[in-house]
Amino acid sequence: MPKLDENRLYWIDVIRSFACVCVVLSHSILKGGTVGEGVVTPVDYAVRGGASILFFMISGALVLYKPKPFVPFIKQRFFRVALPMLLWTVVVLLIDSFMGTRQWSQLPMSLVLMFFKPQFGTYWFIYVIFGIYMLVPMIATWLEKCERRDLEILLIAGGIVAVIPYLSLIDRGFSQAVTSANGAMYYFGGYLWIAVMGYYLRKYVNLDRFRCWYLVVVAAVIALPFLLLWAGAPLKMVAKHSSLNLILLCCCYFVALKHVKLSDRVKLFAYDFAQHSFGIYLVHELLIKYIIMPIYKANFVDVHYGITIPVIAIVTLVVSYIIVHLLSKLPGSKYFVGL
């Protein structure tokens, strides 16, 4: 068995692997089950938070930890993150054009627009994270020098902003006015705030010291969405990527997985899977859309979602991993699967 790298944060690999599974499972739920039916809703809620939000936290925990010069950092991230996404977007556009789901006359404009906004819905995350990367050198420099109390004030402000949307249950106009893009508080929240939260959880939160508080937070996180739904909040508000209840849920995931005790074999497996996770993210939705779902709709649409959802997720994960692993053997694989 290969030796472990003493300097590697294997718990980050565990969180990334878990988040990758959540991404695939969330898309499998959308395709193979009816959200709002039976156990699908709470399962969808539990994995939806672990999907995107955890990746923002992981990014913050890694790239914000030390200051970085702007040009080398952006150049590296472009070739390792943005370029593979752009190449796979071209693949999607060509497949859609050949299949007739997109007109060939739309292709030139789509190729231009892909540099500014996602042309394949699943890739929205890359555009957001690359926007955050543009601010990383500045934010990381401040984080290195700021006091913990200053950072906590910033995080509290972001938490307050995340609470405001729930006020629409009382007065919709007030909530929309306060969270307007022209308002001051608007800029304390969002995905950058979540990335900074990942940095904070890595640097300051130790479960051994805060175990009792952690259990209280977990209990609150479990109760909060049900209280919100009982109070009349729509499901889409509770399950929104930037909702406070999902952010708190991901904080619980992050802290728990940060402190889990793992064997060397599990650490190495998590490392290998995490290395493939970005490639899996890039290819899994294509696999679901163009291969798995046509087979599912033609043969298994009447099968109970308790079977279809896990089968779609497992098949997607396994086949996506194999595809990425094979592609990683090709020269220049880092430019199209990030390896």
| 129-147: pLDDT as tens digits | 999 999 999 999 999 999 9
Does any domain span residue 195?
A: yes
Given this model, what pLDDT does residue 38 score? 52
Indicate the pLDDT class of residue 321, thresholds 50, 70 and 90. very high
**Structurally, how many domains does the chain consist of?**
1
Contact yes or no for 78/129 (Cβ under 8 A): no
Does any domain span residue 337?
A: no
Does any domain span residue 14?
A: yes
Given this model, what pLDDT does residue 221 score? 81
CA proximity to 257, closest of 292, 294, 214: 214
Does any domain span residue 338?
A: no
Q: Distance between CA 98 and CA 100 in Å, rounded?
A: 5
Given this model, what pLDDT does residue 1 score? 57
Whether 19 has a pLDDT exceeding 80, the answer reads yes
Side chain identity at residue 1, one-letter code:
M
Does any domain span residue 300?
A: no
Given this model, what pLDDT does residue 16 score? 95
Whether 312 has a pLDDT exceeding 80, the answer reads yes
Query: Which structural domain range is residue 135 located in?
Result: 10-261
Given this model, what pLDDT does residue 286 score? 93
Least confident of 60-69, 146-155, 226-235, 309-318: 226-235
Whether 93 has a pLDDT exceeding 90, the answer reads yes
Give pLDDT tens digits for 34-69. 544 555 577 777 787 678 899 999 999 999 988 889
Does any domain span residue 20?
A: yes
Indicate the pLDDT class of residue 326, thresholds 50, 70 and 90. very high
Q: Enter the DSSP assignment of 146.
A: S
The average confidence (pLDDT) of the chain is 86
Give pLDDT tens digits for 148-200. 999 999 899 888 888 888 887 887 776 666 667 677 677 777 889 999 999 99
Indicate the pLDDT class of residue 124, thresholds 50, 70 and 90. very high
Does any domain span residue 277?
A: no
Encode 12-48: b = buried (16+ Cβ within 10 Å), e = exposed: bbbbbbbbbbbbbbbbbbbbbbebeeeebbebbbbbb
Does any domain span residue 336?
A: no
